[in-house]
Chain A
């Protein structure tokens, strides 16, 4: 059974810092990996999708990497801003039509 772990559980950084969020998964036979953002009391916003054949994806200040063989992904946030404060979730499906398995998330606070 796929299990997803995210480290750290919480992170507080001053504005402007670069930071890395970590995600690991137990079954490397994944289809793809998706990073989401969730604001308190809100739904999910998809940030980045990495296919199993890709090693990284970039969107603005966000860069996600994937090392499928070692079961790890990282989300790099450059020049953090207070508006980046949220919970970041990574999730994987094992195949195209199976449900996503989520990590518990990293709660990020960027202090102005």
Chain B
């Protein structure tokens, strides 16, 4: 089945630095990738949708200059948290939609970001 590899699985960074999270589709081409954020004991909230070769679409309230999304190829989408602050500490996870309605959405394993 479709596999999305997400790295890193966890990262600790200092306030003011930037962190890049990568999601790679290993055995299929992902023209679209959804990025979610999950705060402790909360559900997954959609942050943005990336499409290969075009600008990402951000949900209301998500700062596009802070959360840079790039989908430069059909197998790689990245999320860069710029000038990270402690309130950006969260669980970030990517998801690719299926090619066929017979299959479910594929998720990366998630990235636990802690900003200190």
Contacts and interface: CB of A to CB of B under 8 A. Distances in A.
B95 interface: yes
B113 to A, nearest CB: 12
A82 to B, nearest CB: 21
Contacts of B110: 42-44
Contacts of B95: 99-100
B96 to A, nearest CB: 10
B105 A104 contact: no
Contacts, number: 53
Given A44-B107, A96-B101, A104 B93 contact: no
B104 interface: yes
B71 to A, nearest CB: 14
A34 B97 contact: no
A51 B101 contact: yes
Interface residues of A, number: 23
Given A31-B101, A32-B101, A44-B93, A99 B109 contact: no
A99 B34 CA distance: 6
A96 B112 contact: no
Nearest to A34: B104
B21 to A, nearest CB: 13
Interface of A is mostly: loop
B105 A100 contact: yes
Contacts of B97: 93, 96-99
B42 interface: yes
Interface stretch (B12-20, B43-51, B76-84): B43-51
A99 B43 contact: no
B112 to A, nearest CB: 7
B91 to A, nearest CB: 8
A41 interface: yes
A100 B43 contact: no
Interface of B: 6, 32, 34, 42-46, 49, 91, 93, 95, 97-98, 101-105, 107-110, 112
Given A32-B104, A44-B93, A105-B43, 10 more contacts: A34-B105, A41-B112, A42-B109, A42-B110, A46-B104, A93-B105, A97-B32, A99-B46, A102-B44, A102-B45
